[in-house]
Amino acid sequence: MRSYEEAFSAYWHPVAFSHELKERPLPARLLGRELVVWRTGSGVAVTQRYCAHRGADLCRGAVVEQGLRCGFHGWTYGQDGQCVHIPSQPSVPIPPRALLASYRATERYGLIWVSLAAEPAAPLPEWPELEDGSVATVALPLLDWNVSAGRMLEIVLDVTHLSWVHEGTFGNPAQQEVPPYDVERSPHGVRAQITYPALAPSIGGAPPKVDRTTLTYEVTYPFAVRLSFKPTLFFKHTVYAIASPWSEEKMRCFYFSSYHPNLKKMFPDIFVKSELAILEQDRLTAEAQHPKAHPLDFSGEVHVKADRLTNEYRRGVIALRLGHPVEGPAPD
């Protein structure tokens, strides 16, 4: 069977928020590889992190006109990873092995995405509202969790944990039953919608109010989800969570929200504070799950109808992992 790294190398994964990448090269990690990301005149370049000469960390180097210059002896690499200059012997041909592995990179939705494969197996998610100027966005700090990317997505998609794990933030312990809901499947993802009687935080000692909220979950395989919230009392907003796999047991999640631009003054503060509290509840639960790796079949855990969204999502990820088409019978 293909390794985890091999199976998911063929997809786009984010490695940095665009706003973090300025003139300094940035370190990044993806599927067991250490990378360096830097800005070129025409876009973004991503190569292996360590210099082909003597293994220096290229994140300590500098971006110059010709490319990325190592700080140890000044060897300079173009965005295709090819060494273009060796200052200690400028008139001698450059050895063919003076080369860094380089990868495809693209910038979209305020993120830098990398595919370790020459030909990505699927396109990026389609989130047009982020490109037509109709919304403002705010990003959370990076979420580096000791969980597999698949388990991370599952806790975001889990409609049955809200009243348990999120007690004290928005969970409503009085609502334990999950009414039936549908899951739409496609070759690129899954989609579902539920209504949940969230508890809005109490203000000034008043009892918390029930805020009937419609949640719409839209996954793009393997590890991206757009989740929109339409509450009755609070502001409509949408969160985007993209788990970038470092290994089978560890990931970095890029998490941000979009909201109406008129809310720009107040929304970031409210959103960041409440979302961090909610995600900390999720982190404590997810990091303690066992096994850490996202299960590759349905036999080791027990599944019920209320879990349909996470079941369907897992079915799709297993298919990708095994190299099978995503279509097929739904799990029981």
Complex with Fe ion: residue 100 or 225, whichever CB lies closer: 225
Q: Among the candidate windows 27-35, 201-209, 255-263, 274-282, which touches Fe ion by CB under 5 A?
A: 274-282
Give φ, ψ of 54 to 5 degrees: -135, 25
Is residue 285 a contact partner of residue 177, using CB atoms and an 8 Å limit? no
Complex with Fe ion: residue 47 or 311, whichever CB lies closer: 311
Size of the residue set binding Fe ion (CB under 5 A): 1
Complex with ligand FES: residue 25 or 150, whichever CB lies closer: 25
Is 63 a binding residue for ligand FES by CB under 6 A? The answer is no
Q: Which does 282 bind (CB under 5 to 8 A by kind): ligand FES, Fe ion, none?
A: Fe ion
Q: Which does 54 bind (CB under 5 to 8 A by kind): ligand FES, Fe ion, none?
A: ligand FES
Is 248 a binding residue for Fe ion by CB under 5 A? The answer is no
Is 75 a binding residue for ligand FES by CB under 6 A? The answer is yes
Restricting to residues 18-57, name those near ligand FES by CB under 6 A.
51, 53-54, 56
Is residue 32 a contact partner of residue 247, using CB atoms and an 8 Å limit? yes
Is 73 a binding residue for ligand FES by CB under 6 A? The answer is yes
Q: Which does 73 bind (CB under 5 to 8 A by kind): ligand FES, Fe ion, none?
A: ligand FES
Q: Among the candidate windows 64-72, 102-110, 277-285, 311-319, which touches Fe ion by CB under 5 A?
A: 277-285
Is residue 45 a contact partner of residue 105, using CB atoms and an 8 Å limit? yes
Is residue 217 a contact partner of residue 157, using CB atoms and an 8 Å limit? yes
Least separation in angstroms between CB 51 and ligand FES:
3
Complex with ligand FES: residue 73 or 324, whichever CB lies closer: 73
Least separation in angstroms between CB 329 and ligand FES:
53
Is 282 a binding residue for Fe ion by CB under 5 A? The answer is yes
Q: Which does 312 bind (CB under 5 to 8 A by kind): ligand FES, Fe ion, none?
A: none
Least separation in angstroms between CB 54 and Fe ion:
46
Complex with ligand FES: residue 62 or 136, whichever CB lies closer: 62
Complex with ligand FES: residue 55 or 208, whichever CB lies closer: 55
Give φ, ψ of 320 to 5 degrees: -60, -40
Least separation in angstroms between CB 25 and ligand FES:
13
The only residue of 32, 63, 72, 268 in contact with ligand FES, by rule CB under 6 A: 72
SS3 of the chain: the string is: CCCHHHHHHCCCEEEEEHHHCCCCCEEEEECCEEEEEEECCCCEEEEECECCCCCCEHHHCEEECCEEECCCCCCEECCCCEEEECCCCCCCCCCCCCECCEEEEEEECCEEEEECCCCCCCCCCCCHHHCCCCCEEEECCCEEECCCHHHHHHHHHCCCCHHHHCECCCECCCCCCCCCCCEEEECCEEEEEEEEEEEECCCCCCCCEEEEEEEEEEEECCCEEEEEEECCCCCCEEEEEEEEEEECCEEEEEEEEEECHHHCCCHHHHHHHHHHHHHHHHHHHHHCCCCCCCCCCCCCCCCCHHHHHHHHHHHHHHHHHHCCCCCCCCCC
Least separation in angstroms between CB 94 and ligand FES:
12
Size of the residue set binding ligand FES (CB under 6 A): 9
Q: Which residues make Cβ contacts (< 8 Å) with residue 195, sequence separation at least 6?
A: 179, 212, 213, 214, 215
Q: Which does 305 bind (CB under 5 to 8 A by kind): ligand FES, Fe ion, none?
A: none
Q: Residues interacting with Fe ion, by CB under 5 A?
A: 282
Q: Residues interacting with ligand FES, by CB under 6 A?
A: 51, 53-54, 56, 70, 72-75
